[in-house]
Structure 1
Amino acid sequence: MDQLLNWFYTVFIENFDFWMLFGLAAQAMFMMRFVVQWMASERVGRSIVPIAFWFFSIAGGVMLFVYGVIKKEPIIILGQGLGLVIYFRNLWLIFKEKRRDPTI
Structure 2
Amino acid sequence: MSTETLWLGIGFLGQIFFSARFLVQWIASERVRRSIIPPAFWLFSVFGGGTLLAYAIYRKDPVFIAGQAAGLLIYARNIYFIFRETRAADGSLDPAGRS
- The bucket for the TM-score relative to the shorter chain is 0.7 to 0.9
Alignment correspondent of 2:89: 101
Pairing 1:81–2:69 present: yes
Pairing 1:64–2:52 present: yes
Pairing 1:20–2:8 present: yes
Greater C-alpha Rg: 1
Cα deviation, residue 74, structure 1: 0.9
**How many Å separate the matches in 2 of 1:49 and 1:28?**
18
Alignment correspondent of 2:34: 46
**Normalising by the residue count of structure 1, what TM-score does the alignment of the two structures yield?**
0.80
Name the structure with the higher helix share: 1
Alignment size in residue pairs: 88
Alignment correspondent of 1:34: 22
Cα deviation, residue 102, structure 1: 3.0
Q: Deviations over 1:22-64 (max 9, x none)?
A: 1111101100000000010011100001100011000000000
Cα deviation, residue 97, structure 1: 1.2
Report which structure shows greater RCO (CA 8 Å, sep ≥6).
2
Alignment correspondent of 1:6: none
